[in-house]
Amino acid sequence: MREVSLAIVGGGPAGLSAAISARESGLGGTPPAGGIVIIERGRALGGILNQCIHNGFGLHIFKEELTGPEYAHRLVEACVRLGIEYKLNTMVTDLGTDTDGAKTLTLFSREGAERIRAKAVILAMGCRERPRGALRIPGSRCAGIYTAGLAQELVNMKGLMPGKTVVVLGSGDIGLIMARRMTLEGAEVKGVYELMPYSGGLKRNIAQCLNDYGIPLKLSHTVTRIEGQEFGRGESSDGCGRLRGVWTAAVDASGAPLYATEEFTACDTLLLSVGLIPENELSKRIGVRLSEVTGGPLVDDSLQTSVPGVFACGNVLHVHDLADNVTLEAYRAGESAARCIRGGAGAFGVTGGVRRIGLRAGRGVRYVVPNEIILPAGPKPSAGPDAEPGAEYTAYFRSDNVYRDVYIRVRLAPEGSCSDSEGAVIKSVSKRIVTPGEMETLKFSLETGKAATLEVRIEAKG
Amino acid sequence: METSLGSSTQTAGQEQTASQEPRREHRFICIGCPMGCELLVVTEVSEEGGPPSAVSGNACKIGERYGREEATNPTRVMTSSVRVLGGDMKMLSVKTARPIPKGKIWDCAEAMRGLSVNAPVKIGDIIIKNAASTGVDIIATRNIARGSA
Ligand SMILES: Cc1cc2nc3c(=O)[nH]c(=O)nc-3n(C[C@H](O)[C@H](O)[C@H](O)COP(=O)(O)OP(=O)(O)OC[C@H]3O[C@@H](n4cnc5c(N)ncnc54)[C@H](O)[C@@H]3O)c2cc1C
Ligand code: SF4
């Protein structure tokens, strides 16, 4: 069986960036023995960025505003320059652990099946879109209902228009981007309906994708029914079984439709932009523990999952709004994997000799990444600080609502207490606004030896 | 709250009889940060030509700059995709090499409609020179090799 040092599953921005940083952290070796290999099921590297043809990527990493394909191109070029091996049209179908702790990957391609062994694995499979089935909208099972990402692929990659009159359900970024894209391609976009009282998309996209084109955004609204002709039962000679329109209504504070406000909007296309789900079937195969909130793996601050030697980054870990953040996170995963491989088995993830500090979501916070901080092993003065002085950690999190004029804080949470207790404040930053649509980061350092669990919270001022 | 706060091209054009100057009010949502301040920009076209403008509603300097630009010279990078003949992909993604005046977006979209290019294409290649007389080229944003899609 072929052996590599690092196998990366997925060749999107996360996988590519992780490969670059693993190589730059000194992980060498040339294929077929040793080395890094990226395995991508698609026909090109770049992942979802290939279809995100709009601009707005790379401001942080490249200090330039790039389109998705250009951003991907930069990463691919760097991988090629660094001599990183990649396999296209190859799907990883299984992931396991050998008796000696090495990971085994089962690959499928046109050439057939193959198994390889790797010292470490980085999960970078991205996410997929929440489909209609997950929403349970009643009504006809007609044609003309697409996830926004599928419509994006059809228009941008295949040159096919999904329809002429469009309603978008959900104000996620992909839906907003597609509202503009379809408008420019000649479709009439009647409106974007969002269940929540705030948009899940970036402000910039609301301004430049909706307001620029006069497309209304209806907050606290939802689609209540879908009306179309059933397949095979349509009376029309043309678009048999096509969507005819949708019923929409305002919702109350609990999200329940107010049926008195129901209205019919004629359209032949409904785009769903109602969230992304991390793609973790493989992670489950190897026994990685997943978060119930994000659906992504639980990780420590090195981005190692509950299975030693398996790391995760990008949208497979939690949904990112900006590819730049994906790259930054993936750099860390690549570095950690290289360190893990260099240090031999057990440099990370072993329970002996290290202390783990939990990091959890407190009041106002939907989830936090990472879930654990590993303090360096080795002898430490009994009264002294646990961590190296000044060692800095970053909490990435999303709020559960829109909050104005608040502090975002990391606090000590004494072990075993309920999450409402007040531990000492480790870090506090004042924010004018925190919204679920934009990921927050909070850097803090740990100087105290007392911590068992930390909590990220959003607290009102005064 | 309904955020159909008007497409930012719509302006509540109020003529001020007192000053004889065309005075216009524009409303935008600032995109500088998640605060999304609602900006009110008042422009007055002066004799000297340059339209001085006053921005209010902004919580910081970024909003002031954004508001002024949006009111006087809004620009956007426009992206699209065009058909490729004989390439390993069906569609080529493209963009305007620089931001173009917002009012020219439709003209550029029109210039691209029905267009097809031959493979191979390299990232940065000019697809349309001086698109819709903006002085800005439309360029390729990816490589496409010869092949069959
Ligand atoms: C439809 C869609 C549209 C988006 N549009 C935008 C946008 O406009 N702007 C923005 O900033 N962000 C957008 N995002 C978010 C965007 O996904 C992230 O910013 C970023 O691309 C995530 O990078 P990633 O590498 O984690 O995932 P991806 O880019 O999704 O890459 C994952 C890769 O893994 C591969 N893969 C998965 N499973 C396997 C397997 N078993 N074997 C082999 N390969 C596998 C996939 O084929 C894919 O290429 C979008 C997301 C989606 C789903
Ligand atoms: S004005 Fe300043 S605070 Fe307000 S949205 Fe713009 S950048 Fe944010």
Cα A417 to Cα A453: distance, rounded to the nearest angstrom = 10
> Which atom belonging to ligand 1 lies closest to the Cα atom of A48?
29
Contact check, Cβ <8 Å, A67/B9: no
Q: Dihedrals φ, ψ of B71, to 5°? A: -80, -35
Cα A246 to Cα A225: distance, rounded to the nearest angstrom = 6
Q: What is the pTM of this model?
A: 0.88
Cα A280 to Cα A282: distance, rounded to the nearest angstrom = 5
Query: Would you call A450 exposed, middle or buried from its count of C-beta atoms within 10 A (0-12, 13-18, 19+)?
Result: exposed
- The pLDDT assigned to A302 comes to 92
- The pLDDT assigned to A149 comes to 95
Taken in order of first residue, the domains within chain B and their CATH numbers are 2-73 (no CATH), 79-140 (3.10.530.10)
Structure tokens at A305: 């999952």
Edge-to-edge strand ranges of the sheet holding B91-96: B116-118, B79-85, B91-96, B138-140, B126-128
pLDDT tens for the 462 residues of chain A, in order: 889 999 999 999 999 999 999 999 888 755 545 699 999 999 999 999 999 999 989 888 888 889 999 999 999 999 999 999 999 999 999 999 999 989 999 999 999 999 999 999 999 999 999 876 666 788 777 889 999 999 999 999 999 999 999 999 999 999 999 999 999 999 999 999 999 998 888 888 999 999 999 999 999 999 999 998 765 554 554 445 889 999 999 999 998 999 999 999 999 999 999 888 999 999 999 999 999 999 999 999 999 999 999 999 999 999 998 899 999 999 999 999 998 888 754 444 444 556 788 999 999 999 999 999 887 654 443 333 344 555 789 999 999 999 999 999 999 886 555 555 578 899 999 998 898 888 999 999 886 556 678 999 999 987
- The pLDDT assigned to B118 comes to 96
Largest CA distance in chain A: 82
Structure tokens at A47: 């992942």
Taken in order of first residue, the domains within chain A and their CATH numbers are 2-128+277-342 (3.50.50.60), 131-274 (3.50.50.60), 354-460 (no CATH)
Considering only CB atoms, B79 lies closest to which of A67, A211, A214, namely: A67
**A14 CA distance to ligand 1 centroid (A)?**
8
**Under 8 Å between Cβ of B44 and B26:** no
For residue A438, list chain B residues with Cβ-Cβ distance below 8 A: 34
Residue B33 has pLDDT above 80, yes or no: no
pLDDT digits (tens, 9 = 90+) for B68-114: 999 888 999 999 999 999 999 999 999 999 999 999 999 999 998 88
Query: Which residue from B minimizes the CA distance to A154?
Result: B91
Nearest residue (by CA) to ligand 2, atom 1, is B63
SS3 call for A227: strand
**A315 CA distance to ligand 1 centroid (A)?**
7
- The pLDDT assigned to A295 comes to 93
Look up residue A110 and give its amino acid.
R
**Under 8 Å between Cβ of A40 and A342:** no
The three state secondary structure string of B56-86 is ECCCCHHHHHHHHHHHHCCEECCEEEEEEEC
